[in-house]
Amino acid sequence: MPRETGFPTQDAQDDFLRARRRRVFAQLSSVMRLELGDVDVMLPFDEVVDALGRVGERDIGITSIAIASIVGTVDRRKEFDREFRPTSSRARARFERIAEASRRGVSLPPIDVYRVGELHFVRDGHHRVAVARAQGRDRVDAHVVEVLTRVPADSSITLNDLPLKSHERLFHERVPLPADARARIALTDPMQFGTLAEGVEAWGYRLSQHDERYYDRTQTALRWWHEEYVAVVTILREAELIGRRETETDAYLRLSGERYRIMRTQQWSDEAVARVRRGR
């Protein structure tokens, strides 16, 4: 907690002014570094969940959470930025009342949040979070409801990431893999998730034609994963065809496309590998 004068009212006023200065300095720093404007924007809960794909929820109850993990809100408040620094003086009166109560040792009720992956979104308690941050606290008690999504959210996500996350979500809806397999699917360019999904569906169609039977999405995804993806990635690793700056999924998508373009086949052979290697 910042240094105290011994006068809670004055210290509460200083808490607010310090938080406002930090907001101004952050804006100046962002401009000087030519960063995108949304890096400090509070994330909107509904848009994040829509992009990631809501599966369900469960009540965790009251627990202690890291304040740094609170990056968004259920309602589209504009009084605070992503780090809950005041964006104007509109929140000052309430902020200072809560800050003074905190400095006098008054017990404040837990905030209410939704948890999505590594992130928390405030349902109730925005000013309490802002005060806790301004006073240098690391954790806060919260009633947590966890929202389960098809695509995980990490602490680096921004507003600009949401449209791209939706491409990843759509891939996992079209190709419903188990969790351990889903965790390995990673593309440097999220726009390629659509191409990958189309490739899986085409592979599944050829499988159905060959076996003369129908496979649903889950069955197709599992067969593709075990018989195509894992097998191909193993070959590519052994042939050292995965670049240092690409993921295994990048390499699979790039080289499976090359395989078909060069050989007009979906099968991997020594000749296909050799020709793809020469074409790098």
- The token duo for 48 is 């994040």
CB 197 within 8 A of CB 171: yes
> Do 27 and 150 lie in a common domain?
yes
> Do 57 and 117 lie in a common domain?
yes
pLDDT band of residue 244 (cuts 50, 70, 90) is confident
Nearest to 273 by CA among 88, 63, 256, 264: 256
> Do 59 and 127 lie in a common domain?
yes
Q: Which residues pair with 56 in a beta bridge?
A: 148
- The token duo for 113 is 């949040």
Residue 230 domain flag: yes
Query: Into how many domains does the chain fold?
Result: 2
Give yes or no for residue 55 having a pLDDT over 60.
Answer: yes
**CB proximity list for 259: less than 8 A, separation 6 or greater:** 265, 266, 268, 272, 276
Q: For 73-131, write each residue's pLDDT tens digit.
A: 998 767 888 888 888 888 899 999 999 999 999 999 999 999 998 899 999 999 999 99
DSSP labels for 164-195? HHHHHHHHHHHS---HHHHTT---SSGGGHHH
**CB proximity list for 181: less than 8 A, separation 6 or greater:** 225
> Do 153 and 238 lie in a common domain?
no
- Residues of the chain with pLDDT > 90, as a percent, come to 50
Domain boundary among 128, 158, 188: 158
Residue 217: CB atoms within 10 A of its CB come to 14
The answer for 264, left when phi > 0, alpha when psi is -120 to 50, beta otherwise, is left
Domain boundary among 129, 158, 187: 158
pLDDT band of residue 32 (cuts 50, 70, 90) is low
> Do 62 and 187 lie in a common domain?
no
> Do 151 and 180 lie in a common domain?
no
Give yes or no for residue 262 having a pLDDT over 60.
Answer: no
Residue 1 domain flag: no
Q: Where are the alpha helices (DSSP H) in 117-229?
A: 126-134, 162-174, 179-182, 193-211, 217-223
State how far the Cα of 264 lies from the Cα of 148, in Å rounded to an integer. 41
Which residues form the domain of 196? Answer: 175-278
Nearest to 165 by CA among 179, 186, 196: 186
State how far the Cα of 47 lies from the Cα of 121, in Å rounded to an integer. 12
State how far the Cα of 170 lies from the Cα of 51, in Å rounded to an integer. 9
Nearest to 190 by CA among 253, 257, 243, 102: 253
> Do 38 and 148 lie in a common domain?
yes
CATH of the domain at 24: 3.90.1530.10
- The token duo for 241 is 């065809």
Residue 53 domain flag: yes
- Residue linked to tokens 């209410």: 112
Give yes or no for residue 274 having a pLDDT over 80.
Answer: no
